[in-house]
Every structure is written in C-alpha cells, then in structure tokens.
Amino acid sequence: MGRRGRPPLDYTPVVIQIGDFHLHPIDDADLIALLRPVPRGQRIKAIKAALRSGGLPTTADEKPTADDDLTTAAGEFL
C-alpha cells in the first residue's frame, strides 16, 4: 500500500512565533467573545483574516490603529 496523508509541501513555511497568546478576561473581553465560538483548529485562520482586513500598520513607521477601530473591523469581519 502507498503512503497516506498530506503530500509534501512545495515551499518552506515561515514560522513567526508570537509566544503564548493570553487574553485578559476583562480588558480583552471583546476578543474573547470574537474567538470563543470559532472552532479551536480554525482560530489561526480567523485571526489571519481579521489581520488582513485592516488595523495593522503596513510599515514600521505607521502607528497601530486604535482598539475601537480594531473592534469595529472585527465586528464587520464577522
């Protein structure tokens, strides 16, 4: 029988370790509410989609968007 599973990647993945992602139950309640219903294996995809929808600086010279703007963007994403 042949080998089963995923085929080998045709690229070398880039891994950026952010460390443990801890959320504060009060300060980050909006993020917890956003991520809690997302299945555990799909949370990284949801975070990537939210990041791509805006809110992060595109260059080192830009300043990050305010938390309220991020909350609005996340709400619009869902």
pLDDT tens for residues 13-32? 888 877 778 889 999 999 88
User: What's the whole-model pTM score?
Assistant: 0.51
Q: Tell me the mean pLDDT in the region 38-58.
A: 83
Reduce the DSSP state of residue 6 to 3 states and report it: coil
- For residue 74, count other CB atoms closer than 10 A to its CB: 21
Give the CA-trace dihedral at 31, 37, 42, 46, to 10 degrees.
Answer: -40
For residue 48, the model assigns a pLDDT of 87
C-alpha dist (Å) from residue 52 to 7, 32, 64, 74: 27, 19, 14, 11
Structure confidence at residue 37 as a pLDDT band (50, 70, 90): very high
